[in-house]
A and B are shown apart, each in its own frame.
Chain A
Amino acid sequence: MKAIGKIDWAFSAGRIPFKNNGEEPEFISHDKIAVLNTSEENAIVELLIFYEDQKPVGTYEILVRAKRLRKIRFNDLIAPEAVQLERNYSCLIQTNVPVVIQFSRMNTGANSNAEMSTIAFPVEPEK
Chain B
Amino acid sequence: MREEEWKNWSGSLSFKPGAILTPESEEEIVQLVKRARREKRKLRVVGVGHSSSPLVKTDDILLSLKHFKGVEAPDLEKNRATVLAGMTVKEAGKDLYRYGLAMHNTGDVDVQTIAGAIGTGTHGTGRELRNLSSMLVGVRMITGTGEIIDTNIEEDEELFRALRVAMGTCGIFIKMRLQLQPFFRLTRKEWCVPLDKCLGNLEELQERNRNFDFYWYPRSDMAKIRVMNKEGEKMPEIPYGKLTFKKEGDSHKVLPRSRHLKFDEMEYALPAKNGPECFLEVRREIKQKWRKGVAWRVLYRTIKADDAFLSSMYGRDSVTISLHHNAGLPFWEYFKAIEPIFRRYGGRPHWGKKHRLKAAELKELFPCWDDFQKYRERFDPDKVFLSPYMEELLIPEE
Q: How far is the CA of A59 from the CA of B162 in the complex (A)?
A: 47
Beta-carbon contact of A82 and B326 below 8 Å: yes
Interface residues of A, Cβ cutoff 8 Å to B: 18, 24-25, 28, 73, 75-86
Residues of chain A within 8 A (CB-CB) of B326 are 78, 80-82
Find B220's partner among A76, A81, A83, A85 (CB 8 Å cutoff).
A76
Beta-carbon contact of A75 and B295 below 8 Å: yes
Interface of B is mostly: loop
Q: How far is the CA of A81 from the CA of B326 in the complex (A)?
A: 6
Residues of chain A within 8 A (CB-CB) of B375 are none
A75-B295, A78-B295, A84-B293 known; 17 new pairs, CB 8 Å cut-off, are A25-B221, A28-B220, A28-B221, A73-B220, A75-B219, A78-B261, A78-B296, A79-B261, A80-B261, A80-B326, A81-B328, A82-B219, A82-B296, A82-B326, A82-B329, A85-B291, A85-B292
B135 adjacent to chain A (CB < 8 Å)? no
**Residue of B at shortest CB range from A77?**
B295
Q: How far is the CA of A24 from the CA of B292 in the complex (A)?
A: 16
Q: How far is the CA of A82 from the CA of B220 in the complex (A)?
A: 13
Q: How far is the CA of A3 from the CA of B222 in the complex (A)?
A: 34
Residues of chain B within 8 A (CB-CB) of A84 are 292-293
Query: How far does the Cβ of A32 sit from chain B's closest Cβ, in whole Å?
Result: 12
Beta-carbon contact of B221 and A81 below 8 Å: no
**Residue of A at shortest CB range from B296?**
A78
Query: How far does the Cβ of B131 sit from chain A's closest Cβ, in whole Å?
Result: 28
Residues of chain B within 8 A (CB-CB) of A28 are 219-221
Q: Mark B157-176, 1 if CB is under 8 A from A, else 0.
A: 00000000000000000000
Interface residues of B, Cβ cutoff 8 Å to A: 194, 217, 219-222, 261, 291-296, 326, 328-329
- Contacts A/B (CB < 8 Å), 26 sampled: A24-B221, A25-B221, A25-B222, A28-B219, A28-B221, A73-B219, A75-B219, A75-B220, A75-B295, A76-B217, A76-B219, A76-B220, A76-B295, A77-B295, A78-B261, A81-B328, A81-B329, A82-B219, A82-B295, A82-B296, A82-B329, A84-B292, A84-B293, A85-B291, A85-B293, A86-B292
Q: How far is the CA of A85 from the CA of B290 in the complex (A)?
A: 10
**Residue of B at shortest CB range from A87?**
B292
Residues of chain B within 8 A (CB-CB) of A81 are 326, 328-329
Residues of chain A within 8 A (CB-CB) of B219 are 28, 73, 75-76, 82
Residues of chain A within 8 A (CB-CB) of B295 are 75-78, 82-83
Query: How far does the Cβ of A27 sit from chain B's closest Cβ, in whole Å?
Result: 10
Q: How far is the CA of A58 from the CA of B78 in the complex (A)?
A: 51
Beta-carbon contact of A25 and B261 below 8 Å: no
Q: How far is the CA of A83 from the CA of B296 in the complex (A)?
A: 11
Residues of chain A within 8 A (CB-CB) of B221 are 24-25, 28
Residues of chain B within 8 A (CB-CB) of A73 are 219-220
Residues of chain A within 8 A (CB-CB) of B292 are 18, 84-86
Query: How far does the Cβ of B178 sit from chain A's closest Cβ, in whole Å?
Result: 35
**Residue of B at shortest CB range from A86?**
B292
Q: How far is the CA of A24 from the CA of B194 in the complex (A)?
A: 9
Residues of chain B within 8 A (CB-CB) of A83 are 295
Candidate in B220, B221, B294, B295 with the most chain A CB atoms within 10 angstroms = B295
Find B293's partner among A25, A77, A82 (CB 8 Å cutoff).
A82
Q: How far is the CA of A82 from the CA of B218 in the complex (A)?
A: 11
Q: How far is the CA of A28 from the CA of B217 in the complex (A)?
A: 12
